[in-house]
Amino acid sequence: MPRTRPVWPGSPQPLGARFHLGPDATPGTNFALWAAGAEAVELCLFDPDGTETRVELTELTHEVWHGFVPGVMPGHAYGYRVHGRWDPWTGGRWNPAKLLLDPYARAVDGEFALPPHVYGHARDWPERPVADTVRDNRDSAPFVPKGVVVQDDDDWSDDRRPKTPWSDSVIYELHVRGFTMRHPGIPPQLRGTYAGLAHPAAIAHLERLGVTAVELLPVHQFAHEDHLLRRSLRNYWGYNSIGYFAPHAAYSASGTRGEQVGEFKRMVRALHAAGIEVILDVVYNHTAEGNELGPTLSLRGIDNRAYYRLQQDARRYADYTGCGNTLHVVRPHVLRLITDSLRYWVTEMGVDGFRFDLAAALARPMRATDDPDMLSPFLAVVAQDPVLRRVKLIAEPWDVGSGGYQVGAFPPLWTEWNDRYRDAVRDFWRGASPGLADLGYRLSGSSDLYAWGGRRPYASVNFVTAHDGFTLRDLVSYECKHNEANGEENQDGTNDNRSWNCGCEGETDDPGINALRRRQLRNLLATLLLSTGVPMLCAGDEMGRTQGGNNNAYCQDNETSWVDWSLLDDPEDDSWRELFELVCRLIALRRRHPVLRRRVFFSGRPQRPGGLRDLAWFTPEGREMTEGDWFSAATTLGMYLSGRDIAQGDPLGRRITDDSFLVILHAAAEPVGFVLPGPPWAHRYEVLVDTSGGEHAPVVLAAGAAVTVAERSVLLLRAVSPRSPGRA
């Protein structure tokens, strides 16, 4: 006979499992699950030995099934079985044989295995075309992880959020596991974990770089796809979420019965103490349950029709994400799930912002076939939410559906990944740019995309590489993807890499090619860090990390993807250490000079009578560019940033002045003579950065003189005039 437990009415609020003192000060846990279409809901409690006790929740308030169970303490594992009609033709996929993860579970214990038992339908049904319509009655409980009751007992009074202004931000995209797995200064037992990222050795690298925020690849609880497990691979990136409140348990060094929650919070505190913000890459556009042939893990079994966008043929899912399903964000309970999750990570887990994967999918209206709507319920709710409107919000402004490309279209509260910046910079340095007009916009903040509705230059997150695609080193070493290790016959990953291998595909011993590749790395990084907008670095690019040409390493949880820290200490090649030092210098320079991190767009006009234009562009002849120059084939561009009159004030409203800089970008294979603009722009120039590695004599050059700019290089010069401030 199954064991029974008493259950009291409890409360429909809040959703999830919350431990507290109930009636008569009895300790226990309140359970609440939104399941509007269900006929019955069973709470399943699991003892440490796996023994299951089922408790029927009989209270139903406003579509929420709820009950208080005395004696259920923090650390207790649980799940749900939800009863309803099996009718896939109308979207009904209830199956009480499948144990379901609570969407509000704040900790998850165990990993998903994907035998046939975990599927709501008969995955191994011989007639494949109708397999998803046949219900599978095998119990899935032994093969799925369970939610864990977590106690609320953390005090954040000692935490100090950095609150770095957007204009001052430098983002570093990293993977918790990949960043720490090979770090020699992190104890082996902490590598690959939140505690590893909190370790002083990991934080020291971030501090030395000078980045202001880490953007963590997904840390919501996620599942591995069946097609990967069949090939003995795993989902490494984590874009396959199934628990929007739970930190991924596999990244915990301290335990998975709730201990991962405290470990994550301690990581956030450690990063905050170093002045570093924590931004989460979040995946609210789809879940790990996939399409109609996917497993039944949570939302599908709770109320499939209510949580997912379905086609007119309700057996099938509307897929605007390329991952099999799309959450129906327009529905109030789905919108609540997402916003409750976001607020939880801010208020209880301490994070400082979010990067939304495929954010355009969240902006699709009730009819998903319509283009994304920037007045959609999700964007409207975020804009008025007193918690969410105050944190950093970054959109990946596209999805895979019709009209899904929305770069520049998100409302003023949002910052966006700017892939047009990525493409323009890659094209320029590989010699494929048809003209300079697009590059000029990207270098100066992309005003053509963002100068509307009160948006600022920091609406653009500038990047050359990210987790998805080639690493920076591979970008200059490969022209074709090499994804064979992914087991998809090299068919996965983009073919539009906009890369150049410098004359040889892959690694080589040719010293000339290697020298050119190192220079191209310096050029790309210097361009990124001297551009207006928010720069984003991908972890390891500052020291030459390679993935061997794999541009879609989502399933490579191994040394292909992990940061190789030995590059910084290679006794036979100090070029990677030199690259790292250059990045540190450029970020420090950016931090010192407000003209490099403007809060308002350039106007191209003087800010006061008799002043200089705040932005000017020059040809190699030393003359200002004309309209025709922008659209002619050219490989050299001079950008003058005036710091004399910056159109922004300090916190007291006082006028800000700064040094002025001339940035020369030269992408041709031969050197070029560049005439340095004379008065009123400058009387002389001081060379600060030369990516060719060459030495200039003298270091201070006279205005009006022609300086030789080495082939394929960036030259950064400080303009010196009688009114110039001190040295850079």
Q: Catalytic site residues?
A: 357, 396
Burial class (CB in 10 A: 0-12, 13-18, 19+), 600: middle
Tokens standing for residue 380: 């409207």
* CA 280 to chain centroid: 6
Pairing of strands 534-538, 171-174: parallel
Q: Directed axis angle between helix 259-273 and helix 200-209, to 10°? A: 40
Tokens standing for residue 393: 């919000």
Distances (CA, A) of 391 to 11, 213, 376: 31, 13, 20
Dist. CA 286–CA 288, nearest whole Å:
7
Residue in 624, 628, 650, 653 with CA at minimum distance from that of residue 637: 624
Dist. CA 619–CA 622, nearest whole Å:
6
Q: Is 494:481 a contact under the CB 8 Å cutoff? A: yes
Dist. CA 416–CA 409, nearest whole Å:
9
Dist. CA 529–CA 25, nearest whole Å:
58
Q: Give the residue carrying structure tokens 């407000």.
A: 594
Neighbours of 331 (CB within 10 A): 19
Dist. CA 610–CA 592, nearest whole Å:
26
Dist. CA 343–CA 355, nearest whole Å:
14
Residue in 665, 677, 658 with CA at minimum distance from that of residue 614: 658
In the chain the first and final C-alpha atoms are separated, in Å, by: 79
Dist. CA 377–CA 355, nearest whole Å:
18
Neighbours of 230 (CB within 10 A): 10
Let me know the angle formed at the C-alpha of 464 by 463 and 469, rounded to the nearest 5 degrees: 110
Burial class (CB in 10 A: 0-12, 13-18, 19+), 480: middle
Q: Is 97:54 a contact under the CB 8 Å cutoff? A: no
Amino acid at 372: P
Ordered alpha helix ranges (H), 319-469: 332-347, 377-384, 419-429, 437-443, 447-450
Pairing of strands 706-709, 672-675: antiparallel
Let me know the angle formed at the C-alpha of 265 by 263 and 267, rounded to the nearest 5 degrees: 70
Q: Is 7:53 a contact under the CB 8 Å cutoff? A: no
